[in-house]
Amino acid sequence: MPRDTALTSVVAPAGGHAVVGRGVPDDVWARVESSLADGRAPSTRRNYAREWRGFAAFADSRGYRVAPAPSAAVADYLLHLEDTLTPDGARAFSLARIELAAAAIKYVHRQQSAAGSDGGGVGEVPLWTHPLIGDTLAAIRRRYARTGARPRRREDPLLLSDLSAMITTARADAFSWRRRLRERRDTAALLLGWVGAMRRSEIVGLTTDDVALTPHGWTIRLGVAKTDQTGTGTRKALPVGEHLVTCGPCAYLRWVQCHTAFNARGRSGLIRLLAGPDPHTSHICGRAPVTVVVAPLFRSITAASDLTDRAPGGQLIHGIVRKRLAAARPEVDVTRYGAHSLRAGFVTEAFAAGHQPVEIMRQTGHRSVESLLIYARDHNIHSGNAAATIGL
């Protein structure tokens, strides 16, 4: 989407007419939209645009000034979301959705202020720091908690034992060349995502030349990531696995072999590579990496088992985790797992192994210890817990 039209919908409600706020010049909004287009990840921009449209339509219907909006108007909107019910009487908006709406409204006002217009209501402190909004959100959180509502459940961590079982089962079930093709892709995605503690968008965003053998060992290079929106770039270690099953560099090379075979001979090249036995009994990651055409690493596979030139969506990683876990651990509730289980699993295992937060953050890319410790509080409560060693 072109830069100048990427977020026009941020200031246009569903009806289509522009709600620019009384007294706010069009050129100010143009600068706001331009800033929004580059200031957040695409998914965040889409979510913020949706929430801003909702607020703009609400404010317009109530006769409130839209931008800059009075803090009371924003508080009224958040309470409106809380009170909105579905036909069966359930809350229409989750707590996370209400908090997202508040974040979007604050963000637009901050950007408007940066563009040279007053970001708060008339005679008020800036809207994004106004205590009325924070107090309103706190009250909503307490009411949601009293009625049994909880924040969105985080996905369970995928532990190393489960990861190993998933890969072992996938290889054992790969009895045809088509299954072997998908096993190589899935294994590489699982191992690189887990060892690299990556988000699903980062996994599917990899290209073939983002994994490389350097004089210091194998590395993964990320481009624009959630915590690196400026594109400075991040490198992560991809150590050779102590066990063959969980060796990330080997999995990468085996999948890249499929790229090379298909690029050279199409589907017949894949059949020649994958039709025979595939024991994988020794490491191949000590060899010089093959030279491949730069392309999305986890390029999509068609129903006919051809490789496309397109990168898949992040939902592919979500599906791989659940499919492979269900096959390896049929007794497990796979709905508790997803793509983020790879990142959570690495952090959980790292804490259990006694690593310090700064060592873990070097691989995960977390900016603060507090964010990292969420994993420890949620999934690692038994490790280092005084209750376990107090002598009960």
Mean pLDDT (whole number) for 266-271? 96
pLDDT at residue 162 tops 50: yes
Is the predicted pLDDT of residue 148 greater than 80, yes or no? no
Does residue 2 register a pLDDT over 60?
A: no
pLDDT in tens, 327-336: 999 999 999 9
* Whether pTM exceeds 0.75: no
Asked whether the predicted pLDDT for residue 177 surpasses 50, the reply is yes
Distance between CA 315 and CA 204 in Å, rounded? Answer: 9
Distance CA 245, CA 193 (A): 15
Rounded Cα distance, 145 and 151, in Å: 9
Place of tokens 């690493």: 297
- Is 108 a residue whose pLDDT tops 70? yes
User: Is 91 found in the same domain as 136?
Assistant: yes
Q: Are residues 135 and 166 in the same domain?
A: no
Domain containing 66 equals: 3-146
Contact 259, 292 (CB under 8 A): yes
pLDDT > 90 in the chain, percent: 54
Residue-level pLDDT at 124:
59
CATH number at residue 288: 1.10.443.10
Asked if residue 344 belongs to a domain, the reply is no
Q: What are phi and psi of 60, to 5 degrees?
A: -65, -40
Say if CB 267 and CB 304 are below 8 A apart.
yes
Residues 347, 157 contacting (CB under 8 angstroms): yes
Residue 38 confidence (pLDDT) above 80: no
pLDDT in the model for residue 338 = 94
Q: Residue ranges of the alpha helices (H) in 174-308?
A: 177-195, 200-204, 248-265, 267-274
Rounded average pLDDT over 359-388 = 74
- Out of 39-48, 131-140, 189-198, 260-269, pick the least confident: 39-48
Distance CA 321, CA 341 (A): 8
Structural domain contains residue 210: yes
More confident: 391 or 248:
248
Tell me, yes or no, whether 367 lies in a domain: no
Flag whether pLDDT at 18 surpasses 50.
no
Per-residue pLDDT, 366: 84
Q: Which residue has better confidence, 134 or 368? A: 134
Q: Which of 26-30, 74-78, 335-339, 372-376 has the lowest mean pLDDT?
A: 26-30
Do both 23 and 99 map to the same domain? yes
Q: Do the Cβ atoms of 102 and 133 come closer than 8 Å?
A: yes
Tokens 């100048």: give the residue: 4
Give dist(CA 384, CA 263) in Å, integer.
51
Number of C-alpha atoms within 13 angstroms, CB side, residue 375? 27
Query: Would you say residue 362 lies in a domain?
Result: no
Lowest mean pLDDT segment, chosen from 104-113, 170-179, 235-244, 373-382 = 373-382
Q: Residue 68, preceding bond cis, omega within 30 degrees? A: yes
pLDDT at 149: 67
Whether 236 and 107 map to the same domain: the answer is no
Give the gyration radius of the chain's Cα atoms. 25
pLDDT band at 343; cut points 50, 70, 90: very high
Can you tell me which residue has the tokens 């790229």?
A: 259
Q: Which long-range contacts (CB under 8 A, 24 or more apart) does 210-216 make?
A: 210/297, 211/238, 211/249, 211/252, 211/297, 212/289, 213/249, 213/285, 213/288, 213/289
The predicted model gives 104-110 an average pLDDT of 89
**What residues pair up with 236 in beta bridges, in sequence order?**
220
Cβ contact 179:171 at 8 Å? no
pLDDT at residue 11, rounded to an integer: 41
Instruction: Please check whether residues 237 and 272 belong to one and the same domain.
Output: yes
pLDDT at residue number 152: 61
Same domain assignment for residues 131 and 183: no
In a domain, 228, yes or no: yes
Which of 146, 168, 185 is at the close of a domain?
A: 146
Question: At which of 289, 308, 334 does a domain end?
Answer: 334
- Asked if residue 351 is part of any domain, the answer here is no
Q: Based on the domain organization, do 141 and 164 belong to the same domain?
A: no
Domain final residue, candidates 87, 116, 146: 146
Total domains present in the chain: 2
Q: Which position has the higher pLDDT, 380 or 7? A: 380
Give the distance from CA 99 to its chain's centroid.
18
The pLDDT > 70 percentage for the chain reads 78
In this structure, are residues 74 and 127 in contact, taking their beta carbons and an 8 Å threshold?
Answer: yes
Q: Encode pLDDT of 127-142 as tens digits.
A: 888 899 999 999 999 9
Query: 45 vs 216, which has greater pLDDT?
Result: 216
- Map residue 262 onto helix, strand or coil: helix
Domain contains 277: yes
pLDDT at 22 over 50: no
Residues 114 and 41 in one domain: yes
Per-residue model confidence (pLDDT) at position 37? 58
Residues 97 and 191 occupy one common structural domain: no
The reply to whether 104 falls in a domain is yes
Maximum CA pair distance of the chain? 76
What pLDDT does 12 receive? 37
Return the CATH number at 95.
Answer: 1.10.150.130
d(CA 252, CA 260): 12
What is the structure's pLDDT at 101? 94
In whole angstroms, give the CA distance from residue 268 to residue 113: 59
Q: What is the pLDDT of residues 284-325, one digit of tens each?
A: 998 766 677 899 999 999 999 999 999 999 899 999 999 999
Q: Where are the beta strands (DSSP E) in the chain?
A: 211-214, 217-222, 234-237
With CA atoms as reference, report the closest residue to 173 among 187, 194, 193, 159.
Answer: 187
pLDDT of residue 89: 85
**Same domain, residue pair 137 and 197:** no
What's the pLDDT score for residue 120? 47
Q: Write down the mean pLDDT value for the chain.
A: 83
Same domain, 185 and 328: yes
Instruction: Give CA–CA dist 170/254, Å, rounded.
Output: 14
Same domain, 123 and 211: no
Please name the residues in contact with 209: beta carbons below 8 A apart, sequence gap of 6 or more: 292, 294
